[in-house]
Structure 1
Amino acid sequence: MNYGNNTEPDFLPDFNLQHVNHLIHFYQVQKMYLGYFGKVPSSYTFSNRDIEKFHGKFPEKFETNILGKHFRHCIEKKDHAAEIIYILKNEIILEQEPDEVHLYFHDENSAHLHQLLEFLKGFKIEKPDKAHINLIIMQQHGLDNKKIGFTKPDLDLSISYNDDFPEFHDKMLKILKQDNKSGLHLLYGKPGTGKSTYIRYLCGLVKKEIVFLPGQMAQNLDNIAMTKYLIDNPNSVLVIEDAEELIVSRDSQRNSNLAMILNITDGILGESLGIQIIATFNTDVQNIDPALKRKGRLKSAYEFRALVPDKANRLLIEQNMNYSTDKEMTLAEIYNISEEEQYKSPERKVVGFRTALV
């Protein structure tokens, strides 16, 4: 490792930079600020910045403002990976790390500080089209979230689902975006019709924390740890997949987990926390406990069905499949047609369909 600094700043003639380097650890920038200026600083942190570009532009733009410089650099890495501390005029220190920039200051109304803030805005990296879902995990202190990132599906709802779906989607999305509102959304239909794909698509549209609740953990909705977790995660969306065991009618033997769902979606707990639940299942909706379908609690419901032949053939063309059908097909069936099956298609009118639909 190579450490260095430049000339001693002229605004502190009695201050020995070499002495500071020996007494203060490089990373303890706040202590360094206290040593330079005799004050405890405030700070801003900027992540998601193009550090390589910033590394090249900053010294050029603010050359006359730089009074001192410390750096730590690994010789095996490129220059932009260096950790650099700039001592600036107006009692400002800027710390450049490989993935973040920190500003330390005392006067938040300083014109120089505002100039730096505006300069840093220009290096923001637009986040890729990524979405995430929270998986509940057990930690020593209790239940916590682990973010799982994924690329949002490139989904055209008008092609991938039947004609009545886009209207339902608009209604459901509008409700999910409401802050601090509780409620229940039921998505049902046979396997392969696109329920999980649609939920992944929603994750990229709803600016709330979306929490996936595994089946085993969903059986413990009524325990104290889960209640504490819900209290710590208000205004979120809880996704329970394959929820039959929780929501199918038990007649007089209603279980405590079902009672918890009722309370979250339209009870005292729901009113306080504003949590919405999306439950998916494969059984007939008639088997669902009637209390879940009560007006005011049930915000939306949709049955995912196989695509009608016209829709199925349109999607097959979009996917460049050499296949056509006169029967309904699920998304799973369409996306998993083997090459061998394509050429065994009983009806080979792909060009005709393409001509009709373009």
Structure 2
Amino acid sequence: MKIKQNNKTYIPKFSKPETRDIYSHFFDSDFGILQKNIISYFNNTLNIDSFSITVENLLKDDLYIKLNELGFYLLYKHENLNRNDKQNTTQSNFAIDDFYYGDSVTVFAKENYEAILSIERSSRNNLNVTCFYIQETKNIEELIKFLSKHHRKIDKKVQIITRRSHGYEIQAIDVKKIDIDFDLYYNDDFKYSELKKNIELDENGIIIMSGVPGSGKSSLIKYMIRDIPREFCYLPPNNIELFSDPSSLPFIIQELNNKILIIEDCEKLLRSRDEGDNWNIATILNISDGILGDYLNLKMILTINTTEKIDEALLRKGRLLYSYDFKNLTVAKVNALAKKLGIDKEFTQELPLTDLLNYDKENNATNFVKKKKKIGF
């Protein structure tokens, strides 16, 4: 690991032994440098704000020039050490070289650490910029305005929340365009216009889409992402802890405000508290209509296979905006869709939507079905 430093020492008031003594205040084994603690220590204040933004197609050099204009200086840069790069092996001569960091993070600071800003590349064209600063710090608004010009644009994409060693971040992926014939793909009691109206409603709350696997829930979500002019964000169920982690609050406020949050396969998250301890319910309730939910105006789309064990608190009026249970297609629907797809067969039983859409696709799944043992010959 190599650390490039300018002529300003990292922590000028401390010698190497003293720096190790205050390690617990300035560093964290999972998240590296604790910027707020450094700012608070050197400025004797707790009035610290922050922002986090992902910018695209902004050259690092152009960003560095702007930071220099606004009074920031390079604090350090750390990245993986190339074993053949012997020239730089002697540069890491300060205490902080012993501590863990992520790859390729550049950190800038203002005089007396009144602001500390980190830059990390999240993809080929994207940079994650996070800044902690004292509320009265000069030029912060100008910096935010500059970065906002390059703010990543989300066009027909879904944003995915991922967790890395330094915290959470947003990544955007393209969503495949699909066409849906609602008269054929879903039973007559499903009205897409009603679902769309509740999603576009300027009100936080919960939308629950339940139904058997293959009934078209995921396909419908893909369609909505491209059809409805709102930003959708996908959260893996095991990352729900994001909302109960105080250190993630700046990320939540910056990235999730006024968005549609999608969580699929939520059986465990929505399980009734009568079935045992389920602290996730309290988190979801707080997002839906608690103080945090009101501030964020965050709407959640939750998908599950069955509602049998769902916590009844989720179904309260004012919290649950809309719900629909997707069942197998009726026999009449099955045959109408089969005719449209050119399937030359008369069906006599209800079927999931995907069974028809993939009717002629062979996957050899029967090879994995255990055969029943026969008795005799």
Name the TM-score, length of structure 1 as normaliser.
0.53
CA–CA distance in 2 between the matches of 1:276 and 1:193?
A: 18
Alignment of 1:271 onto 2:317 = yes
The equivalent of 2:256 in structure 1 is: none
The equivalent of 1:174 in structure 2 is: 197
Alpha carbons of structure 1 residues 208 and 85: separation in structure 2 relative to 1, 3 Å: closer
Look up the equivalent residue of 1:29 and give its one-letter code: Q
The equivalent of 2:131 in structure 1 is: 103
CA drift at 1:116: 0.7
- Larger-gyration structure (1/2): 1
Q: Assess if the C-alpha contact under 8 Å between 1:42 and 1:105 holds in 2.
A: yes
Look up the equivalent residue of 1:154 and give its one-letter code: K
CA–CA distance in 1 between the matches of 2:188 and 2:51?
A: 43
Q: 1:48 aligns with which of 41, 47, 54?
A: 54
Q: 2:35 aligns with which of 29, 33, 39?
A: 29
Q: CA RMSD of the aligned region, Å? A: 5.1
Q: Assess if the C-alpha contact under 8 Å between 2:38 and 2:113 holds in 1.
A: no
What do residues 156-200 of structure 1 show as CA deviations (whole Å, max 9, x unaligned)? 124894699799212222134443578887878xx8563553255
Q: Assess if the C-alpha contact under 8 Å between 2:79 and 2:104 holds in 1.
A: yes
What is the correspondence of 1:299-318 to structure 2 with a 5 Å cutoff? 305-308=334-337, 311-313=340-342
What is the correspondence of 1:68-217 to structure 2 with a 5 Å cutoff? 68-76=73-81, 82-88=104-110, 92-99=114-121, 100-108=128-136, 110=138, 112-127=139-154, 129-130=157-158, 152-158=175-181, 161=184, 168-178=191-201, 179=203, 194-199=216-221, 201-202=223-224, 207-212=259-264
Alpha carbons of structure 1 residues 76 and 41: separation in structure 2 relative to 1, 3 Å: farther
Look up the equivalent residue of 1:44 and give its one-letter code: S
CA drift at 1:44: 1.8
* Structure 2 residues without counterparts, runs of 5 or longer: 20-25, 28-32, 83-101, 122-127, 162-169, 233-258, 290-299, 363-377
Look up the equivalent residue of 1:335 and give its one-letter code: N
The equivalent of 1:234 in structure 2 is: 288
Alpha carbons of structure 1 residues 90 and 130: separation in structure 2 relative to 1, 3 Å: same
Q: Assess if the C-alpha contact under 8 Å between 1:185 and 1:279 holds in 2.
A: yes
CA–CA distance in 2 between the matches of 1:17 and 1:117?
A: 27
Helix, strand or coil at the partner of 1:271: coil
CA–CA distance in 1 between the matches of 2:159 and 2:333?
A: 23
1 or 2 for the larger relative contact order (CA 8 Å, sep ≥6)?
A: 2
Look up the equivalent residue of 1:71 and give its one-letter code: Y
CA–CA distance in 2 between the matches of 1:325 and 1:16?
A: 75
Q: Assess if the C-alpha contact under 8 Å between 2:206 and 2:288 holds in 1.
A: no
Look up the equivalent residue of 2:304 and give its one-letter code: I
Helix, strand or coil at the partner of 1:157: coil
What is the correspondence of 1:289-304 to structure 2 with a 5 Å cutoff? none
Look up the equivalent residue of 2:131 and give its one-letter code: L
Helix, strand or coil at the partner of 2:324: strand
What do residues 261-284 of structure 1 show as CA deviations (whole Å, max 9, x unaligned)? 6x754xxxx125335433233497
Alpha carbons of structure 1 residues 131 and 67: separation in structure 2 relative to 1, 3 Å: closer
Q: Assess if the C-alpha contact under 8 Å between 1:83 and 1:98 holds in 2.
A: yes
CA–CA distance in 2 between the matches of 1:164 and 1:278?
A: 11
Q: 2:68 aligns with which of 63, 66, 81?
A: 63
* Structure 1 residues without counterparts, runs of 5 or longer: 9-14, 134-146, 247-256, 286-302, 314-323, 340-358
